[in-house]
Chains A and B, each alone.
Chain A
């Protein structure tokens, strides 16, 4: 059980890191992009702009000392 926990912890740290909100924001943006593209909307700008906003918010939160 200890090894399973360590394994899961390793991958969580590796992929999600110390800001799960940023990871959740990325997942939400990807889902929205996928959905809108499959509804035939041409929204190529959504992902770069959305990721920039996720980055700004994540940095701002950590700079303020929040987690």
Chain B
């Protein structure tokens, strides 16, 4: 074999430099990814550190809706359903005063349970219209949610006897006292 060729074959310096370069690049990439994921670039940017937080506020929101949909002893409707039945369709923005009383009571609970903890929320009511297509209206609106917002929902069945105030929500069962189902969507995010 030609001595020069043999030397080249035995010389693994190039391979070593390549591996060093690759290792360095990988380390730099991992470092950047780790830094980016480990801490949010802005308070409203989704990041790995938010996953547990999102999980927590999702659980809180879900629990809150379940508790609000509980019918107390001696009552006909839950606080959530009372508010939905009395609500006329008005969108309440920010921290404006809400009405009637049942909606005010509901808002107070949300504010105490969520805002005090630094969690913003929107409450949107989705329903099916006369054409059996989905429509939705915001009941409580606190702004555009961030990237790391979570959504929890609760389904509330409305009956004819409830005499719902929001006349734009139609009776989808004229032959029975079943009226419609409202999908109450609560969007939550960290401020």
Physical interaction between A and B: no
